[in-house]
C-alpha cells in the first residue's frame, strides 16, 4: 500500500512537479530578519498527508500521523551551486533546481508514505539506489506519456492524414497532443480521494507561503484568508514547459528518423526546464507588469485543479513545516536541531 501511495502521489506532484518554544515564537518577520534578505524565496510541495517546505538553508517535512500528532523530518540543505559556481548561470540553474527538487521530493514522499502507514522504514532515509529507482520510474512514466506517445501519434497523423505536413505544423500538433495528455492526466487523478487530499495540502502550502510573503505571523487564522493559487507553483512551471517545448522541439526537423526525434526531445528536456525556470522566476518577480501577469495566468487557471481549499488541520501541517524549515535560517542555527 505504501508503494502504491508513493507512485500515485509522486506522479501527481512530480509530474505536475517544485519545509518547541523557538518554533512557536518564530514569525515571518523574524525569519526574514534572521536571514537578512527580504527577497527570500520559500517553496515546497505537498506529500501524502503532509507538506515539504524548504528555506534557503534547510527543509522540513511535516506529516499527520494516524494518531493525529505531527511527525517531522528536517535537515540542512547542501547547495551544489556553492561548490560549482558555474551551475548558478541562468538556464543551467533551472535544471539543477529541478533535479535537486525531484530528489528531495521523492525522499519526502517516501517518508510521508511510511508515516501514514505506521512503518518504521518510512522514517528512514532512502538509499541512493531507492532514490535513483524512484526517479527512473517517474522519468519513464513522464517520457512515455508526454513525449513518446504524442510523438508517435503525430507521426501517424502525418503518415495517414497529412503527408505534406510542415515542420511547424508537425511540432504544433505534437505539442497540442502533449498538452491534451497532460490535462486529461491531471483532471483524471483529481477525482481520486487520496490525490484530492494531496491537492488540499498543495493549497495549504500556497496559503502558508503567501502568509510568509505578506510578512504576517504564521498562524492558521492568517493563512486561512490567503489564495491557494501561487505564480511560482510547479504547476505553472509545467505550463511553461509545455509551451516552450513546442518552440525548442521545432529545432529538430520533423523529417528526421523517429528515433532521432525521440532522443532529441529527451536530451532537450534540461534546456526546456532551464528556460521555463527563468521565465517563471522573472514573471513571479514582476507581476506588476501586465505582460508578466498574462504569462502566469494560464498556470493559475490550472492550479484551480491541482490545488484545493485545505482545512485548518492541513494548514497547521504546512505552517509547522515552514516554521521548522525557517529555523535553519535563524540567527542561532544550532537551535534548529536536525531530526
Residues belonging to the chain: 339
Cell of 158: 502525418
C-alpha to C-alpha distance for 280 and 238, rounded to whole angstroms = 10
CA triple 207-211-215, angle to 5 deg: 165
Look up the domain containing 228 and give its range.
2-332
Sort residue 60 into left (φ over 0), alpha (ψ -120 to 50) or beta.
beta
C-alpha to C-alpha distance for 318 and 204, rounded to whole angstroms = 6
Sort residue 332 into left (φ over 0), alpha (ψ -120 to 50) or beta.
beta
C-alpha dist (Å) from residue 303 to 69, 190, 298, 310, 339:
29, 11, 9, 14, 32
Four-CA torsion 31, 36, 40, 43, nearest 10 degrees: -40
Exposure of 333 by Cβ count < 10 A (0-12 exposed, 13-18 middle, 19+ buried)? Answer: middle
Exposure of 120 by Cβ count < 10 A (0-12 exposed, 13-18 middle, 19+ buried)? Answer: exposed
Exposure of 141 by Cβ count < 10 A (0-12 exposed, 13-18 middle, 19+ buried)? Answer: middle
**Residue 250 domain-assigned (yes or no):** yes
**Residue 337 domain-assigned (yes or no):** no
Question: Each residue of 217-267: pLDDT tens digit?
Answer: 999 999 999 999 998 888 888 888 889 999 999 989 999 999 999 999 999
**Residue 154 domain-assigned (yes or no):** yes
* pLDDT on residue 336: 39
Under a CB-based contact definition with an 8 Å cutoff, are residues 18 and 43 in contact?
Answer: yes
Under a CB-based contact definition with an 8 Å cutoff, are residues 264 and 42 in contact?
Answer: no
* pLDDT on residue 27: 34
**Residue 273 domain-assigned (yes or no):** yes
Cα of 111 vs its chain's centroid, Å: 17
**Residue 26 domain-assigned (yes or no):** yes
* pLDDT on residue 40: 55
**Residue 215 domain-assigned (yes or no):** yes
CA triple 118-142-131, angle to 5 deg: 40
* pLDDT on residue 80: 79
Q: Is residue 252 helix, strand or coil?
A: coil
**Residue 106 domain-assigned (yes or no):** yes
* pLDDT on residue 135: 67
* pLDDT on residue 234: 81
* pLDDT on residue 63: 96
Q: How far apart are the first and last CA of the chain?
A: 26
Write the CB contacts of 66 (distance below 8 Å, at least 6 apart in sequence): 116, 118
Mean pLDDT by 10 residues, the chain (339 residues): 46 44 31 40 87 91 94 88 82 84 85 77 55 72 89 94 91 94 91 91 95 93 95 84 90 92 92 90 85 88 93 97 89 39
Exposure of 155 by Cβ count < 10 A (0-12 exposed, 13-18 middle, 19+ buried)? Answer: middle
The DSSP call for residue 79 is: P
**Residue 248 domain-assigned (yes or no):** yes
Under a CB-based contact definition with an 8 Å cutoff, are residues 256 and 288 in contact?
Answer: no
* pLDDT on residue 152: 95
Give the chain's domain count.
Answer: 1
* pLDDT on residue 318: 97
Q: Is residue 140 helix, strand or coil?
A: helix
Amino acid at each position: 500500500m505504501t508503494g502504491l501511495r508513493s507512485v500515485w502521489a509522486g506522479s501527481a506532484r512530480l509530474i505536475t512537479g517544485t519545509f518547541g518554544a523557538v518554533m512557536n515564537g518564530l514569525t515571518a518577520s523574524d525569519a526574514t530578519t534572521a536571514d537578512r534578505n527580504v527577497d527570500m524565496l520559500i517553496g515546497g510541495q505537498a506529500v501524502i498527508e503532509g507538506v515539504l517546505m524548504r528555506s534557503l538553508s534547510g527543509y522540513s517535512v511535516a506529516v499527520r500521523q494516524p494518531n493525529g500528532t505531527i511527525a517531522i523530518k528536517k535537515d540542512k540543505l547542501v547547495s551544489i551551486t556553492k561548490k560549482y559556481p558555474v551551475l548558478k548561470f541562468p538556464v543551467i540553474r533551472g535544471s539543477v533546481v529541478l533535479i535537486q527538487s525531484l530528489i528531495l521530493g521523492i525522499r519526502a514522499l517516501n517518508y510521508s508514505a511510511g508515516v501514514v502507514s505506521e512503518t518504521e522504514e518510512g522514517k528512514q532515509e532512502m538509499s541512493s539506489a531507492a532514490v535513483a529507482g524512484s526517479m527512473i520510474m517517474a522519468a519513464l512514466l513522464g517520457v512515455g506519456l508526454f513525449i513518446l506517445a504524442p510523438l508517435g501519434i503525430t507521426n501517424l497523423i502525418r503518415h495517414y492524414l497529412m503527408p505534406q505536413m510542415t515542420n511547424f505544423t508537425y511540432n504544433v500538433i505534437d505539442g497540442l497532443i502533449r498538452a491534451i495528455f497532460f490535462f486529461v492526466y491531471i483532471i483524471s487523478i483529481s477525482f481520486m480521494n487520496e490525490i484530492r487530499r494531496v491537492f488540499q495540502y498543495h493549497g495549504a502550502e500556497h496559503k502558508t507561503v503567501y502568509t510568509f510573503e505578506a510578512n504576517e505571523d504564521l498562524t492558521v487564522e492568517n493563512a486561512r484568508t490567503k489564495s491557494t493559487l501561487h505564480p511560482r507553483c510547479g504547476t505553472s512551471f509545467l505550463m511553461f514547459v509545455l509551451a516552450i517545448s513546442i518552440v525548442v522541439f521545432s529545432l529538430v526537423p520533423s523529417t528526421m528518423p523517429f528515433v532521432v526525434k525521440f532522443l532529441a526531445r529527451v536530451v532537450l528536456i534540461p534546456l526546456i526546464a532551464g528556460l521555463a525556470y527563468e521565465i517563471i522566476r522573472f514573471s513571479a518577480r514582476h507581476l506588476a507588469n501586465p505582460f508578466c501577469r498574462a504569462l502566469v495566468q494560464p498556470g493559475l487557471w490550472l492550479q484551480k485543479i491541482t490545488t484545493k481549499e485545505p482545512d485548518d488541520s492541513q494548514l497547521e501541517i504546512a505552517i509547522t513545516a515552514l516554521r521548522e524549515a525557517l529555523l535553519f535560517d535563524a540567527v542561532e542555527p544550532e537551535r534548529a536541531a536536525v531530526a
